[in-house]
Amino acid sequence: MLVRTIIAVIFGPLIIYLSYLGGLWLVGMIFILAGIGISEFVIQSLGKRSPFLLSLSVLFTVGLVLSSTLLNFTITLMIYITFLLLIGMLLSIRNQPPADLFRQILLLSWGTGYIGLLYPFVYHIRELTATGDWLLFLFGTIWLSDSLAMWVGTAFGRRKLAPTVSPNKTVAGFVGGMSGGIIIAVILHFWRLSDFHIYSLVFAGLLVSFVGQLGDLVESCWKRSLDIKDSSTIIPGHGGVLDRFDSLLFAAPVLHLYLKYFIFK
């Protein structure tokens, strides 16, 4: 727990600082997270026996990040389609059972799109709002919801939320996590986001917390299918990048859509 806390105290403020800087600093952070994330995904899904597929997946994933943040959607779509075609052709000529090949194609297609297309929404939120305040809202909600879900679930959890996917998650923990969104919304309303109606912020907080916890379940499902506990051990006390930022992958796009069509319309 001590190591976990120290890492959080060091990297939490750094992430928020880069969020406020925006621009290429934020793109660089997303680039690193995506590169490490897809590496974890491919190594855990296919093992270390496929260095070429790992390199190809990393190349195209960071390509998706860069095109999504610095170029445009058309180029991003072309990069992703090219990756799908390449993976399909390269795996089809391998001497393996068709079922295994198809599984690998689906895994790589999902992993590359899931990581390379969703992480850039962190950047899009920063560009849409022209401030780091909403990224502070996003990260704060995710981190507090995660902590409250664990504490409330440990103290009061009886009924399992999804026992076959994540046996330790409880309904009480999920509800406790949702309260994190409300707390962050109220704090930031009086501190950084006073121009926005409190009800809009509370709804955004609940939305981010809800979707973020569902994103955590999706990653748990992937790990359960591979019978692993963590995506890697790169972050001491926290596991891997996908373990620490799984909620972000789902929450960022949803918050961006909410802000774009309901708050900054």
Clarify whether residues 252 and 218 are in a common domain: yes
Clarify whether residues 163 and 265 are in a common domain: yes
Query: For 217, phi and psi rounded to 5 degrees?
Result: -70, -35
Boundary residue ending a domain (106, 130, 154): 130
Clarify whether residues 213 and 250 are in a common domain: yes
Clarify whether residues 10 and 103 are in a common domain: no
Clarify whether residues 30 and 92 are in a common domain: yes
Give the range of the structural domain holding residue 155, as residue numbers without chain letter: 1-21+132-265
Clarify whether residues 16 and 31 are in a common domain: no
The list of the chain residues with pLDDT below 70 reads 1-2, 49
Q: Which residue has the tokens 């309901």?
A: 262
Clarify whether residues 150 and 247 are in a common domain: yes
Quick check: 7 and 237 in contact, CB under 8 A? yes
Residue 34 tokens, joined: 């995506």
Q: What is the per-residue pLDDT for 163? A: 87
Q: What is the per-residue pLDDT for 3? A: 74
Q: Which of 162, 143, 128 is nearest to 22 (CA)?
A: 128
Q: Which of 1, 10, 21, 42 is nearest to 231 (CA)?
A: 42
Q: Which residue has the tokens 């709002």?
A: 129
Query: For 149-168, what is each residue's pLDDT tens digit?
Result: 999 999 998 899 988 888 88
pTM here is 0.93
Task: Let me know if 218 is exposed, middle or buried by CB neighbors in 10 A (0-12, 13-18, 19+).
Answer: middle
Percent of the chain at pLDDT > 70 equals 98
Boundary residue ending a domain (98, 130, 162): 130
